[in-house]
A and B are shown apart, each in its own frame.
Chain A
Amino acid sequence: MNQPGYFELAWSFFKINLVTFGGGYSIVPIISKTYVEKKKYIEEEDMLNMIALAQSCPGAMAVNTSVLVGYRLRGKLGAFVSLIGAVLPPLLVITIISYYYTAFQENMLIQSVLNGMRGAVCAVMLFTAISMARNALKKNMVFSGLLMLGAYVFGIYTHISTIFIILACGIIGYIYFSVIKKAEGDQA
């Protein structure tokens, strides 16, 4: 497996967290674009496993995912440098903004630049999210498609916390593959 250096880890998570608008899941396609598609350090399935784990821990998901990827690739020190890379952008940006925040909120030029940046982030997210959806449907298509649709519908139309949606899908996966499929396999 390819491995990034410590500096590369910290720097890449600095860049990723610098452009993550919207928080939470919005960071995932962006990490995935760098680490799965471009540099091929991690398999996409492995990436999704780590996201499930990051979601199950308290705290900011973007930071948790960064730390977990760092840990996976370079152990505890890798986790630590990824943490530093991930927390520096908000620390720097907000420190500056907190001194000038009324000017910041009212300045139309800044707003215009931020609008352009957010539009671009949407494009990166949509592009990667669609390719992730297509990959997820390659194995067990009906089962995966139903769960994806279910998570999407519950996520968008209800206020159920995402952690419960994830939990429910994990249980369904266990029942389907470890209980039902196994019983069928034993009969045959």
Chain B
Amino acid sequence: MSLLWQLFVAFMTIGVSAFGGGYAVMPLIQRYIVEQNHWLTLIQLADVTAISQMTPGPIILNSATFVGVKLAGIPGGIVATIGSVLPSFIIVVVLGYFFFKHSKLDFVQSILKGLRPAIVGLILVACFSLMKSSLFDGVWPWHMDASSVINYKALFAFGIAMIINMRTKLDTLGIVAVGGLIGLILYFI
């Protein structure tokens, strides 16, 4: 079995079993990539996790690209990425078809009325945990000595971005670019 095909199958298996998203995928990567195929060491897996925290994109796609490129160059990265999204793409489109067809049904509407506020609650969870890890060192400043956990660069960019958000119609990419620029300027100050 060629290496590219093996990569494809391994990441497809991870993609189809990754429910819940985010870090729920880490044990699967450990099982199929580290233990079964020995494509990464545990230390490299920790590096991939660290890089994923720093860069945009879901952790499953980041690790697919990282492992694929490391083993088989750019074609490897592409094949592993395709493998990891193929099952969910098919499932999402099929479920989406039935959902959009039947979403007007009474009982579906009742379920959705329960789901929507829950989703908003979970978005708030994600929002606050990202703030905790990005603006502070993973600890809210009122739990310990504030000056030791505050990330001043991120906090300053956060404040400016908040003002831009309220006052202008700049899109997200533009706001994030401004944040990057602020980080760049603060590095030299």
Contacts and interface: CB of A to CB of B under 8 A. Distances in A.
Interface string B118-131: 11111111111111
B172 A165 contact: no
Nearest to B178: A120
Main secondary structure of the interface of A (DSSP, over half): helix
B100 A57 contact: no
Nearest to A127: B165
Interface size class of A (residues with CB under 8 A): 35 or more
Contacts, number: 399
Given A119-B153, A120-B179, A151-B121, A59 B60 contact: yes
Interface in B13-29: 15-22, 24
Interface in B47-106: 47, 50-62, 65-66, 69-70, 74, 77-78, 81, 84-85, 87-89, 91-93, 95-97, 99-100, 103, 106
A126 interface: yes
A79 B96 contact: yes
A33 B161 CA distance: 14
A87 to B, nearest CB: 6
Contacts of A15: 171-173
Contact of B114 (A20, A28, A170): A170
Given A20-B56, A49-B112, A108-B187, A120 B158 contact: yes
Interface in A105-121: 105, 108-109, 111-121
B122 A151 contact: yes
Contact of B118 (A26, A34, A166, A178): A166
Interface string A168-179: 011111101110
Main secondary structure of the interface of B (DSSP, over half): helix
A22 B164 CA distance: 22
B154 interface: yes
Contact of A129 (B70, B84, B120, B133): B120
B85 to A, nearest CB: 6
Given A53-B92, A151-B121, 12 more contacts: A15-B172, A19-B172, A22-B129, A34-B172, A55-B21, A55-B119, A94-B66, A97-B55, A105-B47, A112-B184, A113-B187, A127-B162
The 10 A-B pairs at the shortest CB distance, nearest first, are namely A173-B114, A116-B183, A120-B179, A59-B88, A90-B57, A151-B121, A119-B157, A60-B58, A123-B161, A119-B154
